Chain A
Amino acid sequence: MHSGYWLIATILIPLVAAAVLVFVPDNRKDVVRVLSAAVGAALFAISTYVFFAYEVDQGGGYQFFKRIDWLHDVAFLGPHGISLTFGIDGIAAPMVLLTGVVAFGGALISWKIEHHNKDFFILFWVLVSGVYGTFESLDLFFFFFWYEVAVLPMYLLIAVWGSSSVFETFARTKEYSAMKLTIMLVAASILIFIGIFAVFNEAGQGTFDLQTLYAYQFDENFQKLVFPLFLIGCGVLAGLWPFHTWSPDGHVSAPTAVSMLHAGVLMKLGAFGIIRLGIQLLPAGATFWMPGLMVLATCNVVYGAFAATAQRDFKYMIGYSSVSHMGLVLMGLATMNVIGVNGAVLQMFAHGVMTALFFAMVGSVYDQAHTRDMRLFGGLVNKMPLFVFFFGVAGLASLGLPGLAGFVAEFNIFVGTFRTYPWAGALGIFAAMMTAVYILRMWTWTFFGTFNERWVDLKEMTYLERGTAVLLLGAMLWMGLWPAPFIDRIQESVRLLPGVT
């Protein structure tokens, strides 16, 4: 058994960093940068350690377990009423690793932020601690606590450091997108809130401890009633169609690192919530409602792919492709069979690193060009070969090229889906084909063709951007070429999920 303090460290380090940053003077931007890079590196190191230290042959249960009582034996709360309970299973382990990779990359990418970079990093680290907390919590109260911590800095992060854009027929101000995103996500958490109240009340155990609640047999009708609350509440954050609309707008307006973190990890919290609060807590409800999720997820996959094809803005295209790819995650979950759910968790990791890389690359060119209209570029390969390489590989992962992360994940999901809902699998394959269309079209528009003289001043990526890209690409290649460490961990725990066959 490993010490749960490793998990606590992943939550506490960013929080402490945020607290320390409050006291750094406004004009010491260098201190902020170095400190944040160091925190990012530390988190990356701990996350990697945690991932590898998770013992595969222990049957897939929770490891790194640690409980600290927080609020107990008072009013309606019994012993361990609300406790800081941490632990990860094989599903959470890759998510922790993903968070470490993306947070480190985000911290490096944000090195160049000039405007109040101190405030930016305070909010950034609060966000990161919330993400870790959600993945690692085994207490219903704290699961939601951290979930909300991850959402709360978003408004300011987008509204202050984001960018407004004017398109031909409409405009998106950063304030609008920030508000839309915040209100939609918080409004979705209404459902989770109500679900939690109902679950606690129904169980009557006087505790929010998830393992105790998992052991409780909820009435089947109650499960059918409450499961949709968790499904939709968490689904909104996962970009579930038709509640996905905050996501593309949010990404378009968000600063690079926030887009990376948001598409990379935050949306995964939604899918993770469906596993933890939905499948594990209310298995009968899950079994009953999963066909419905399959329909919505198929809409996600197909609609997202078509919408992405229609975009001319880099970030809108990636935003909608995220909707499509998160749809694959939801599809995998909806299969309720081991291989499908396996694929869903793999896809969570794969999509996390590849969209993070996407957004990092877009940021690299946007910061110089101040436009994201793909048609305005052309022949960038002559000017920025490295950029084209990294962006291109991310694209290949996105369209599911074997050898890269996306392939392993999508393969599992489609196998799972064909076993349960062949029609959805067929539509999913079709959407994956559409991915190739919009990715390759982006290549022809921006990377190749005749060089547009307007961009003669564009410079190659900075060293920090290259570092980030190498990090993310490394994760992608690793999962593509040697997925065994992932599959071993995930599979063991997925088998334990109730109702998953």
Chain B
Amino acid sequence: MNELNFDYTLFIPEFILAGVVVLVMALDLFVPQMRKSWLSYVAALGLAATACVSLAWVDDQTNFARIIAIDNFTTYFRVFFMAIGAVVCLASGKLVEDKLRHPGEYYALIILSTIGAIGMAASRELMTAYLSLELLSFSLYILVSYAKFDRRSNEAGLKYLLLGAFASAMFLYGMSLIYGVTGSTYYPDISAALAEGTASYSWALLMGMVLIIAGLGFKVAAVPFHMWTPDAYEGAPIAITAYLSTTSKAAGFVLLLRLFSGAFQVVHDDWSWMIAGIAAATMILGNLVALQQHNIKRLMAYSSIGQVGYMLMGIAGLSHDTASALVLHLTGYMVSNMAIFVVIIAWYNMTGKEEIEDFRGMRERAPLLAGVLAGALFSLAGLPLFAGFVTKFILFQAVTDAGYLWLAAIGVVTSVVSLYYYLQVMKQAFVSAPAEGEGALSVPLLMNGMAALLMVGVFYVGLYPQQLFEMIDHATSYLFV
């Protein structure tokens, strides 16, 4: 029983990804400039293939030296993060071609950060979790400032780096306090220590949890640690904005799920009120400030802050049910959000514009994109037929059952607020006519295809969630063993 398992074959998917990283960087050196657009396909294919490989671990329940768990939860998020990575790589194609001389690095960083995100989902030990978090963060610091000659991108990168470093420091300090109180960095050991805990060191414990929540709150952009979000989102290349709002956020949440379910669930009452407060503030502020935005990236930044608020509710009332509901909502949110970003990227590639009013006449100029935009926005607002309705409903119901009806009520109210600003975007796309001389655009097949495929995903989650939810429910059951 005390024998540690050092089975390196558990990491085969990550090894393959690392191989793809080396491959795209090497190809970048040898492939002539004009062929480099293929790199995005290589990267995406590598991610997709590895996602298939990682399915070999379905229903496995093992761990590597107790620090990394390979179970269905890990497998789910392996596939999840790799899928997002693949979509982002494909969507970046034109952007990278226009702006970068060495696109290999760009794709390599995306894949590296994917590995980091997977690590966050798999870690059952604080140091490992921290290292994975940093792998993700460092890749993102570079990616955010990748548009080297764009001032906004530089500013965004610097801001993100400074605040990110600060957040990491808080996270580390929190970890050290937890270690001091419980004498371990392993989640199960922390949990065991807390279960028999004495009240005398509860202040240090509380402080440790506060710092960890603050550090992770920064990662997922929860109020009041959200200040970097709009600037970083606006400055980053759009594909990276998409990546920030999906993988980076989801990774923060899976780390929170693993950590709080594995280590802190026994002292649920000590921290749930904190997260509940943050969730309420995040929902309210994110959605209200979004009303004021004119730039689509800033709008999506605040809308994603609002979404974080909904997801934090699931952490506040943490139980197996809410964890499942949270992951379901996370999945629906990812698909809808990616769909919107694919539309935004395609539109930006063709028009070079990113203000909300520049979306005018999209119905006439790119009907398929407009349709996907409408569906995905409705989904984010939580209207039926689309993913958002059922995922929000399940999440809010789970939160209500956990005793937080007031949080669910705030969630529903702010959802209506969000509908208002989503409708403003739709108004431009559908009601406003295109300006003089702006005719139909020819959207690349790849973008249309991706948008359509993601829309199918939105409908899948929205109309037939049984299998997905069962899978998720099964995956999250490993969190509470």
Contact = CB atoms under 8 A, between A and B. Distances in A.
A75 B321 contact: yes
Interface in B376-431: 378, 383-385, 389-390, 393-394, 396-398, 400-401, 405, 408-409, 412-413, 416, 419-420, 423, 426-427, 430-431
B423 A145 contact: no
A156 B373 CA distance: 13
Interface in B464-479: 465-466, 469-470, 473
Interface string B110-124: 000000000000000
Contacts of A69: 466
Interface string A62-79: 000000011111111000
B325 A75 contact: yes
Contacts of B320: 75
Main SS of the interface on chain B? helix
B383 A152 contact: yes
Contact of B405 (A186, A190, A194): A194
A145 B384 contact: yes
A76 B420 contact: no
B394 A187 contact: no
Contact of B397 (A149, A155, A182, A197): A197
B389 A145 contact: yes
B396 A193 contact: yes
Contacts of B367: 26
A146 interface: yes
Interface string B355-372: 000000001000100010
Nearest to A149: B384
B385 A126 contact: yes
B384 A197 contact: no
Interface in A189-211: 190, 193-194, 196-198, 200-201
Contact of B400 (A75, A159, A160, A198): A198
B235 to A, nearest CB: 31
A141 B419 contact: no
B247 interface: no
Interface in A83-142: 116, 119, 126, 141
B427 A175 contact: yes
Contact of A74 (B396, B401, B470): B470
A160 B433 CA distance: 10
Contacts of A145: 384, 389
B321 A76 contact: yes
B420 A183 contact: yes
B393 A141 contact: yes
A69 B469 CA distance: 14
Nearest to A118: B367
A74 B327 CA distance: 13
A145 B465 CA distance: 14
Interface residues of B, number: 39
B324 interface: yes
A369 to B, nearest CB: 25
Contacts of B465: 71
A401 interface: no
A179 interface: yes
Contacts of B393: 141, 193
A198 B431 contact: no
Main SS of the interface on chain A? helix
Interface string B313-356: 00000001100110000000000000000000000000000000
Contacts of B426: 155-156
A472 B225 CA distance: 59
A190 B413 contact: yes
B431 A197 contact: no
Given A179-B423, A186-B416, A72 B466 contact: yes
Interface centre among B324, B363, B385 (most CB of A within 10 A): B385
A74 B466 CA distance: 8
Nearest to B386: A152
A25 to B, nearest CB: 10
B353 to A, nearest CB: 22
A71 B471 CA distance: 12
A179 B417 CA distance: 12
Interface residues of A, number: 37
Nearest to B396: A197
A145 B394 CA distance: 12
A470 interface: no
Interface string B447-481: 00000000000000000011001100100000000
Contacts of A373: none
B385 A71 contact: no
Nearest to A133: B384
Contacts of B469: 71, 74-75
Contacts of B413: 190
Contact of A116 (B363, B396, B397): B363
A74 B431 CA distance: 42
Contacts of A146: 384
A73 B469 CA distance: 10
A182 B419 contact: yes
A129 to B, nearest CB: 9
Contacts of B431: 156, 159-160, 175
Contact of B398 (A22, A70, A76, A141): A76
A218 to B, nearest CB: 15
Given A156-B426, A182-B419, A70 B412 contact: no
A228 B144 CA distance: 50
B430 A156 contact: yes
Contacts of A201: 397, 400-401, 405
A17 to B, nearest CB: 14
B180 to A, nearest CB: 36
A159 B378 contact: no
A179 B419 CA distance: 10
A498 B389 CA distance: 31
Contacts of A179: 420, 423
A152 B378 contact: yes
A71 B462 CA distance: 11
A148 interface: yes
Contacts of A119: 363, 430
A22 B372 CA distance: 12
Nearest to B462: A145
A22 B383 contact: no
The 6 closest A-B pairs by CB, nearest first: A197-B400, A193-B412, A145-B384, A75-B324, A75-B321, A152-B383
12 contacts: A71-B466, A73-B470, A74-B324, A75-B324, A75-B473, A141-B393, A148-B384, A148-B389, A156-B426, A179-B420, A200-B401, A201-B400
Interface of A: 22, 26, 69-76, 116, 119, 126, 141, 145-146, 148-149, 152, 155-156, 159-160, 175, 179, 182-183, 186-187, 190, 193-194, 196-198, 200-201
Given A76-B397, A197-B408, 20 more contacts: A70-B466, A74-B470, A75-B473, A116-B363, A119-B363, A148-B383, A152-B384, A155-B423, A159-B430, A175-B431, A179-B420, A179-B423, A190-B409, A190-B413, A190-B416, A193-B393, A194-B409, A197-B396, A200-B397, A200-B400
